[in-house]
Amino acid sequence: MNRISRRDTLTAGLGAGIAALGGAQAGAQAPGGGAAMVTLLLVNDIYKMGEENGRGGFARLNAIVRAERARGVPLLYVHAGDMFSPSLMSGFDQGAHTVELCNMAPPDVFVPGNHEFDFGPEAYAQRRVQSRFPWYASNMRAADGSLLPGHEDGRIVDLGVVKLGVFGVALPNTPEVSSTGDIRFLPTMETVRRETARLRREGADLVVCCAHTDRREDDEIVRSRLVDVLLTGHDHDLAITYDGRTVMVESSEEGYYVTAIDLTLNRVTVDGVTRMAFTPAFRVNDSRHVTPDPETLQRVRQYEKVLSEELDVEVATVTGELDTRTASVRSGEQAIGNLVADAMRRAAGTDIGLTNAGAIRGNRIYPAGHRFTRRDALSELPFGNRTVVAKVSGADIRQALENGVSQVEQRAGRFPHVSNLTVEVDPRRPAGSRVVSVQVGGQPLDDDRVYSVATNDFMLRGGDGYTTLGLRAPDKDVQGKLVALDLMEHLRALGTVAPRIEGRIILR
């Protein structure tokens, strides 16, 4: 099952026009009238290089970008983050192909998302060097508090008819969900206040915040009235709001939709003070109606040919429906999570297998009879995580499970999938006290006993809040094989897979 977005929403207040257009050709028609106008163009959360069912992908995105630039209206093109991972090719080149494809129609602003760090800070720095577009992250700092190389907080962008104060904000809890090393992330609102004040002092007519933040922080930024426009990512929504003062836009995911905001500008004087006023109109470019950019499409096909030769090799047959949708794996036990946890425990020979739902990214349903391939395995586990072993007390395992179910109502990526465990959970209890009982191999968990746990290196480093796993691990840098390879070998050994819920995680 293919998913366009978690929630496709279009809402607007007074003074805003909304038009769902048939792609870049329709969007290229400049509105009439003599008022000054600029366009803001937003994409966010695009992971897959190719299209899916005639929609999305870099070739269609780049076609929209080039058509928008050809309109002749001053343009600011913003990418609000999440590009390097997860995707099939990223498992091989750590996101380098996404930079190459983005360079073909480069944004004016790029804000790093949490997935830019999935391969660690060194790979992140390499991708930044390879990019031909500016990186904005006003809340990111090196360990010593200095600005990161090749990054800037924000700047005044002069589009001729207006001076835009533009700054970037990265997801503040990125260290919890990805691998950031010693990079520091400052609080969002503290950063927004600082940058807005600075840019207005420096002469900005309007202030545009480009952010990779969750909806709660998006709403807080809008309510603050500090910025005029918020262009955001991370939630994968198609969302457009305007309350008469502040615009907020997010452009779905995967390049399915690319939103243009046309700002009609005029200067008004109130009580002797002249300021820039604007009226927004919104155009949603639906990538289904766009002819893919030929140059980008050719490069995508070259990459796909290489992938096919390596990945279209069958490893097992699925005899029943296998659900790997994000909402499913993050809200309860699923057969795919059991398979991954079993594969890790089998490969490592441990007492317990434990993985996080956020590592499973296929977001689809495999029908009965599907022949599961290497490609499928890497699609499900694209991050390049490795199987590692930790010696952990029963008490620490209990705390790890508490962390895993602490945000189940939010469908957070920390939700646990387990092997050789039976965990009973009461989600109605306060977070931190939801685990009712735990059994290991049919026996009650002994808080004082030390168990061997097969997990992934991201979790061992404390990712997704699993700090107790690595707390007493003798060597956090020990690395095994790729989890995806362990899954391939496990499935090959099984031959056939009959997906079912086994009662490993019981939610009351």
DSSP character string of 378-408: HHHSTT--BEEEEEEEHHHHHHHHHHHHTTG
Mean pLDDT within 217-221: 98
Q: Residue 186: count other Cβ atoms within 10 Å of its Cβ.
A: 17
Distances from the Cα of 30 to the Cα of 71, 158, 160, 288, 291, angstroms: 6, 20, 17, 21, 20
Question: Is the model's pLDDT at 1 over the cut of 60?
Answer: no
pLDDT, one tens digit per residue, over 143-165 is 999 999 999 999 999 999 999 99
Q: CB within 8 A of 192, min separation 6: which ones?
A: 169, 209, 221, 224, 226, 227
**Which amino acid is present at 343?**
A
CA distance 46 to 172: 20
Q: What is the pLDDT of residue 495?
A: 96
Mean pLDDT within 419-428: 98
Q: Are 357 and 415 in contact (CB under 8 A)?
A: yes
Q: Residue 197: count other Cβ atoms within 10 Å of its Cβ.
A: 12
Q: What is the pLDDT of residue 345?
A: 96
- Per the document, the length of the chain is 508
Q: Which two tokens stand for residue 191?
A: 């950063």
CA distance 79 to 171: 14
Report all structural domains of the chain as residue ranges with CATH numbers, in order of start: 17-303 (3.60.21.10), 312-507 (3.90.780.10)
Could you give phi then psi for residue 417, rounded to 5 degrees? -120, 140
Q: What is the pLDDT of residue 162?
A: 97
Q: What is the pLDDT of residue 480?
A: 65
Question: Is the model's pLDDT at 430 over the cut of 70?
Answer: yes
CA distance 259 to 44: 10
Q: What is the pLDDT of residue 311?
A: 87
Going by pLDDT thresholds of 50, 70 and 90, the confidence category of residue 28 is very low
Q: What percent of the chain has pLDDT over 90?
A: 79
H or E, element range at 250: strand 247-251
Going by pLDDT thresholds of 50, 70 and 90, the confidence category of residue 481 is confident
Q: CB within 8 A of 149, min separation 6: which ones?
A: 125, 128
**By mean pLDDT, which of 119-123, 157-161, 214-218, 382-386 is the weakest?**
382-386
pLDDT, one tens digit per residue, over 318-359 is 999 999 999 999 999 999 999 999 999 998 899 999 999 999
CA distance 249 to 256: 15
**By mean pLDDT, which of 74-78, 82-86, 154-158, 190-194 is the weakest?**
82-86
Distances from the Cα of 236 to the Cα of 198, 335, 392, angstroms: 30, 25, 36
**Which amino acid is present at 368?**
A
Question: Is the model's pLDDT at 424 over the cut of 90?
Answer: yes
- Mean pLDDT estimate for the chain: 91
CA distance 95 to 64: 22
Query: Between 249 and 388, where is the model more confident?
Result: 249
Q: Which two tokens stand for residue 149?
A: 């190389």
pLDDT, one tens digit per residue, over 293-320 is 999 999 999 999 988 887 889 999 999 9
Mean pLDDT within 450-473: 86
Distances from the Cα of 286 to the Cα of 20, 22, 43, 398, angstroms: 8, 6, 12, 47
Going by pLDDT thresholds of 50, 70 and 90, the confidence category of residue 388 is confident
Indicate the DSSP class of residue 386: B
Q: What is the pLDDT of residue 90?
A: 84
Which pTM value belongs to this model? 0.74
CA distance 75 to 41: 7
Q: What is the pLDDT of residue 475?
A: 42
Q: What is the pLDDT of residue 384?
A: 80
Question: Is the model's pLDDT at 468 over the cut of 50?
Answer: yes
Closest CA to 232 of 243, 401, 480, 220: 220
Q: What is the pLDDT of residue 482?
A: 85
Q: Which two tokens stand for residue 369?
A: 């009879």
236: left (phi over 0), alpha (psi -120 to 50) or beta: left
Indicate the DSSP class of residue 409: G
Going by pLDDT thresholds of 50, 70 and 90, the confidence category of residue 16 is very low
